[in-house]
Amino acid sequence: MENQLQTIVDPLLAWYAVHRRELPWRQDKDPYHVWVSEIMLQQTRVEAVKQYYVRFIEMLPDVQSLSEVPEDRLLKLWEGLGYYTRARNLKKAAEKIVNDCGGVFPHTFASLMKLPGVGEYTAGAIASICFQEKVTAVDGNVLRVAARVTGSRENVLLPEVKKQMQAQLLQVLPDDAGTFNEAMMELGETVCLPGHAAKCGECPLRGVCIAHRDGLTSELPVRVKRMNRRQEQRTVFLLMTEDGRIAVEKRPDKGLLAGMYQLPNVEGFLTEQEIRAAAEAWGLQVHKITFIKEAKHVFTHLDWLMKGYKVRVSRPAGKFLWVTPEEMQAHYALPTALKPFAPFPTARK
């Protein structure tokens, strides 16, 4: 059976040579730079990542500095990107490179796959772009391009379908696999967009694309999720002293938002009487309770439905860390979910 993807190599590479974006991580092929950018780009759009990437590289310019950075400082640098496990895995992988590889970045797909937080896509991107290994790098953008070109009606969220696409792409990889992989990503990010947003008139592959030919662009790729989401009600406490200090606490080292600092919060929607009782149980003397707002935050498998209250209190020693808004802004990474209740601006981008 003919591989429809054989027809895309030349027009794709010609298009990419003209239309590739100038991005901070494309200034060289340093594997550290490519690695950091690829981890940041997971579940985050390119435009949102640019300034985070530049600041991160300025503060942590190499694997050694990343391996040594305190976790609180790392999470502050990552603040606003979300999915903080990515940042922790970066540090774990940097420590492994320093301790087990003598600070030398792994050069092959197989060795890259041994790093914490590095999956097939990231390993393929680094190995092909930085070390010219002939391997694929298949993310959601690449799957969308491949599914449309081939007219595939298979569910691309199924692992076996992804493996089939990888195998077809591997058959057509040119010697410069890194450039081909980047070109596929670029096309998916800028032209072959999801649904009705696709810019088929600008696409170099429209002449060989089955989805375009058959009017199926808005239907492909097929993505059928099987996920049971749950919702959780939470009451968020903005505990504030008369001198303007705010109570924060560190979350457990494992689980959702592990190790991050947060405004105190509890499960369930509490009444004002219950809020007062909770604060007094923490050893606080309550002066005034004021409703702030309601907010919702969507995690991967969970929605937080939140109600926030400002509670004026007398500050004792003990349970909480009491910080000024300026200290919070400068030194503590507050989860995005809780920022609607904070009395200070969001982190600088």
Any residues with CB less than 8 A from the CB of 108 and at least 6 apart, and which? 127, 131, 133
In whole angstroms, how far apart are CA 304 and each of 239, 290, 338, 344? 20, 21, 10, 21
Annotated active-site positions, please? 38
**Dihedral (Cα; 280, 286, 289, 292), 10-degree rounding:** -70
Residue-by-residue DSSP string for 47-110: HHHHHHHHHHHHHS-SHHHHHHS-HHHHHHHHTTS--THHHHHHHHHHHHHHHHSTTPPP-SHH
Residue type, 327: E
Cα separation, 142 vs 135, in Å, equals 14
Please check whether residue 326 is in contact with residue 252, taking contact to mean a CB–CB distance below 8 angstroms. Answer: no
The number of C-alpha atoms within 13 Å of 110 and in the hemisphere containing its C-beta is 0
- DSSP element (H, E) containing 277: helix 272-281
Q: Number of helices (H) and strands (E), helices first, in the chain?
A: 14, 7
